[in-house]
Amino acid sequence: MKLVDVIYKLISFKTITGNRKEIDKCLAYIKKILKPSGAIVEICENEGASPVIFARNAKTEHFDVLVLGHLDVVPADDEMFEPKEKSGKLYGRGTLDMKSFAAVAICSMENVMKEKLNLKFGFILSTDEEEGSKSLEAFLKKHKKLKADVVLDNDVGGDITKIVARCKNPVYVELKAQGLGAHGSTPWEGLDANEKLFETWQNIRKIYPSFSKDKKKPKNTWIDTVHFATINGGKVSNIISDEATALLDFRLTEKSSVEDLKKKLKKCMAKSVSFEVKFQSIPVITDEKNPVMLSYKKLAEKVLKKKIEFEYMGGATDSRSLYERGSTVIMHSGTGEGMHAKGEYVVLKSVEQIADIQMRFLRELAVQK
């Protein structure tokens, strides 16, 4: 199979998260094109979650290398599901995030089977990553013993000359303020939940400063941050709000724990305001001197014929699920822009280079075994 042909076909499926009909068609296509290779391909159904496609070259739950990614995309106009190439750039929904790199994993599987490489290789592609990855979570619950020595994560699109060595820990916290309703003309008879919420927010900002495009960017961005994700309070204009809620999105570095965050938040709560951690994860940190990481980096530099730098990313990654199980995670993707935007594109050459790097890496590991 040709990499570019697979990319074009994957993009043509309107696999917007939740569009089960198109997702099923996409999964069936992948299973069909891999059938001649002899790879073991399963479409795994999970109750209450979207399906996952799991491909491997041997019946095992312990892999030398596992590629992790997703096939779902955010909503887009119909025309974005008809990929167009211009000046070496491929435009369309999912070109960068991340169907081009799902295609790389599929082609790597075919090559591993064809070359009969002496290593246990597989890929897992989820179908609801854009809305929380419940499908991957459900899959891993069923496969409690599944692990991989190395996880290749290509879902960090943007610049092929960068390898992401660290990702922050996303922590979502809900604030809830209880007030006392009263007529808007007599605020002294009520307790404004909105005001209590804002008072709490001001206290939080004393610890975690605000940042925006119209302010000076900090020299060091590897710091804890928080933004007001949602705010809800009040029903009509002339009634004092008796309840208000807000969802806060914290991004913590490896130097901060959720327990420390809770201690700080307790001191910030205004009277009648409480908080609850709704979601927490872990940061993903790969030692930049890890021999496997350095080996991959050396191969990538050889293919690109230029130096590669390590960078840190504020966003989260699905590979944290396997990082918790002891995997060395290598986060590296192709070059492009417009992720989730109308002008999303990927530089085709960079996708071909990722495919080349990936296969060289797999061959090298197979020889070392």
pLDDT band at residue 369, thresholds of 50, 70 and 90? Answer: confident
> In one letter, which amino acid is 120?
K
Contact 233, 243 (CB under 8 A): yes
Q: pLDDT by residue (tens digit) across 203-212?
A: 999 999 999 9
- Cα separation values, 216 from 76, 206, 249, Å: 33, 17, 21
Cα gap 345→163, rounded to integer Å:
19
Cα gap 262→319, rounded to integer Å:
25
User: What is the model's pTM?
Assistant: 0.89
When pLDDT is averaged across residues 268-287 and rounded to a whole number, the result is 95
Angle at 283 between CA 279 and CA 288, to 5 degrees: 170
When pLDDT is averaged across residues 150-175 and rounded to a whole number, the result is 94
When pLDDT is averaged across residues 150-163 and rounded to a whole number, the result is 93
Please tell me the predicted confidence (pLDDT) of residue 47.
Answer: 83
Contact 361, 113 (CB under 8 A): no
pLDDT band at residue 157, thresholds of 50, 70 and 90? Answer: confident
- Of 251 and 317, the one with more pLDDT: 251
Please tell me the predicted confidence (pLDDT) of residue 37.
Answer: 98
**Beta-carbon count within 10 A of 158 CB:** 18
Cα atoms in the 13 Å half-sphere on the side-chain side of 167 = 24
When pLDDT is averaged across residues 194-206 and rounded to a whole number, the result is 97
Please tell me the predicted confidence (pLDDT) of residue 262.
Answer: 98
Please tell me the predicted confidence (pLDDT) of residue 199.
Answer: 97
Please tell me the predicted confidence (pLDDT) of residue 314.
Answer: 86
Average pLDDT, the chain: 96
Please tell me the predicted confidence (pLDDT) of residue 177.
Answer: 98
Query: Which letter does DSSP use for residue 269 in this model?
Result: P
Tokens for 181?
């309703």
DSSP helix/strand/coil, 180: strand
Cα gap 227→5, rounded to integer Å:
41
Cα gap 177→195, rounded to integer Å:
9
pLDDT band at residue 138, thresholds of 50, 70 and 90? Answer: very high
Cα gap 331→191, rounded to integer Å:
49
Contact 29, 106 (CB under 8 A): no
Cα atoms in the 13 Å half-sphere on the side-chain side of 99 = 34
Q: pLDDT by residue (tens digit) across 86-118?
A: 999 999 999 999 999 999 999 999 999 999 999
Cα gap 76→338, rounded to integer Å:
12
Least confident of 64-68, 128-132, 179-183, 256-260: 128-132
DSSP helix/strand/coil, 342: coil
Q: pLDDT by residue (tens digit) across 43-78?
A: 999 888 899 999 999 999 999 999 999 999 999 999
> In one letter, which amino acid is 202?
Q
Residues of 47-75 as b/e, b for ≥16 C-beta within 10 angstroms?
eebbbbbbbbbeeeeebbbbbbbbbbbee
Q: pLDDT by residue (tens digit) across 307-361?
A: 999 999 988 788 999 999 999 999 999 999 999 999 999 999 999 999 999 999 9
Cα gap 319→321, rounded to integer Å:
5
- Cα separation values, 222 from 141, 161, 251, 258, 279, Å: 32, 20, 10, 17, 21
Residues of 239-274 as b/e, b for ≥16 C-beta within 10 angstroms?
ebbbbbebbbebbbbeebebeebeeebeebbbeebe
When pLDDT is averaged across residues 233-253 and rounded to a whole number, the result is 96
Q: Is the peptide bond before 98 cis (omega within 30 degrees of 0)?
A: yes
Please tell me the predicted confidence (pLDDT) of residue 225.
Answer: 97
Please tell me the predicted confidence (pLDDT) of residue 48.
Answer: 83
DSSP helix/strand/coil, 90: strand
Question: Residue 125: beta bridge partners?
Answer: 53, 69
Question: Residue 150: beta bridge partners?
Answer: 65, 328
